[in-house]
Amino acid sequence: MPSEVRSPLSPHFRRYDAEQIGEALKVLAEPSRLQIINLLAEHGRMKVGDLIERLDRLAQPSVSYHLKMLAAVGLVRRERQGSFNYCELNRGELARLAGLLGTGGAS
């Protein structure tokens, strides 16, 4: 009798739209976006200008585009205060994605 094959994905995965999860994974497949996620995880809420300074190989339009893509799938929150733009990691959404993939939560 063959053994039962278990999916590495969380059992809760079936409740969510697979296309939404796929889009988030596509966005995360870009190395520059992973670098942005890492910086936000390390430093918390940041001015976009400060983020651009730390991403010395990326021009401002590229960073803005990457932030837009990350925000579109809910992984980053963007906010304007006065003349400054801020961004921060949406840790709840990142943890939800990790949980659906069966990899535990993000801290």
pLDDT band at 36 (very low <50, low <70, confident <90, very high): very high
**What's the pTM?**
0.79
Q: pLDDT for 42-75, tens place per residue?
A: 999 999 999 999 998 899 999 999 999 999 999 9
* Residue 81, strand partner residues: 84
The pLDDT of 89-103, averaged and rounded, is: 83
Q: Is the pLDDT of residue 105 over 80?
A: no
Q: What is the pLDDT of residue 13?
A: 55
Burial class (CB in 10 A: 0-12, 13-18, 19+), 77: middle
Q: Whose CA is closest to 55, among 66, 68, 70?
A: 66
What are φ and ψ of residue 47, in 5° steps? -70, 140
Q: Whose CA is closest to 35, among 62, 13, 73?
A: 62
Q: What is the pLDDT of residue 22?
A: 87
Q: What is the pLDDT of residue 95?
A: 87
Q: Is the pLDDT of residue 6 over 60?
A: no
Q: What is the DSSP annotation of 5-19?
A: PPPSS-GGGGGS-HH
3-state secondary structure of 88: strand
Q: What is the pLDDT of residue 46?
A: 97
CATH fold of 16-100 reads Arc Repressor Mutant, subunit A (1.10.10)
